[in-house]
Amino acid sequence: MRKTMMAGALAVVMASGATAATPERKPFGTLPDGRAVEAITLSDGRLTVRIITWGAGIQSVLVPDRAGKLVDVALGYDDLAGYLAKSEYFGVVVGRVANRIAGGKFTLDGKAYRVPVNNGPNSLHGGTEGFDKKLWRVLSTTGGDSPSVTLGMTSPDGDQGYPGTVTVTARYALDGGAIAIDYTATTDKPTLVNLSNHAYWNLAGEGSPGGAMGHVLTIPADTFNPTDATAIPTGEFRSVAGTPFDFRKPTPVGARVRDAGDEQIRFGKGYDHNWVIDRKVAAAPRLVARVEEPVSGRVLEVLSNQPGVQFYSGNFLDASVVGKSGRLYRQGDAVVLEPQMFPDTPNRPAFGSVRLDPGQTYRNTILFRFPMVK
């Protein structure tokens, strides 16, 4: 199936040339209960992106290098069976609350809530059956110069312990060399919402033998949130100056990822922390990270309206997963950059709020932008 799907994606690019193509919908497998999962391919003549309805996930992203060679730069599986067996959150929407909630507990309007603990003593990415493990519906597709697909789902009151019926949409569009993402949510009673995308990137090509530690990273943040040994923030906003967390100037990811002299590196077995871009949500997307792969020349710029970006250096990829290239995914084979509110915000008022009330619309706007390289 790997060769068939990749050949199909390449055919879309070759056939479209410099013109946009109509989104292509194809089966991607069947869930154990018989529900069908679809794959929707978007192409604008430069990028080709495949979205699947399981977890509203980014399944593949074909990007040219400086010589025009197309390579899939997003980790993932060829078929649905892989996502069901060991998801690793490849490319999916994470929520209802992305990242960690300490002890799987929070209080809202004086009432205590418990949500599933699935990451040591904490809750991660919405619990054992978060939005990444939901079948989303295709609401609409568009062609033209900015082809898109909009997916939707409803999370019922009490889902994973969270209050309120939440209606969610995820729109993916190709826009001038970028994947433009718009996540929205509304609710019928007060609840918590913090969504993000969990794509794993290797700009040399997923499964490339050199991994991603040679990628050169820039994060325009003066502070980050240190954590305890269970990856829960201590509440401190610590300066990055003089630490392995200073990416204000372009720095190879692998230059300090094994610096055992830093307790935070030891806790995370590498990077798995939130960088503070700002203290509040912005009116429009701004740059939160830039990644360059020197050999191919591919560049990824990540923009969002969110105030934080969780950078994860693939520390827990353990060669137990076979990816689309037929290679094992190992520690350091990809980087993840998740724009979002800060981890454990529900229990840290100083971090802001992820509360969503009836009549409000939550929105996380993300651009994964791939500039033309020389």
Residues classed as catalytic: 198, 338
Structure tokens at 148: 């898109």
Question: How many Å apart are CA 307 and CA 266, to the nearest integer?
Answer: 25
H/E stretch holding 40: strand 36-43
Beta strand residue intervals within 109-240, DSSP E = 111-114, 123-124, 137-142, 148-155, 166-174, 178-187, 191-192, 196-197, 200-201, 216-218, 223-225, 238-239
Contact 147, 22 (CB under 8 A): yes
- Provide the pairing of β-strand 48-52 with 36-43: antiparallel
Map residue 88 onto helix, strand or coil. coil
CA-based R_g, the chain, Å:
19
Contact 277, 292 (CB under 8 A): no
Map residue 277 onto helix, strand or coil. coil
In degrees, rounded to 5, the angle at the alpha carbon of residue 11 between the alpha carbons of residues 134 and 38 is 15
Structure tokens at 264: 């935070």
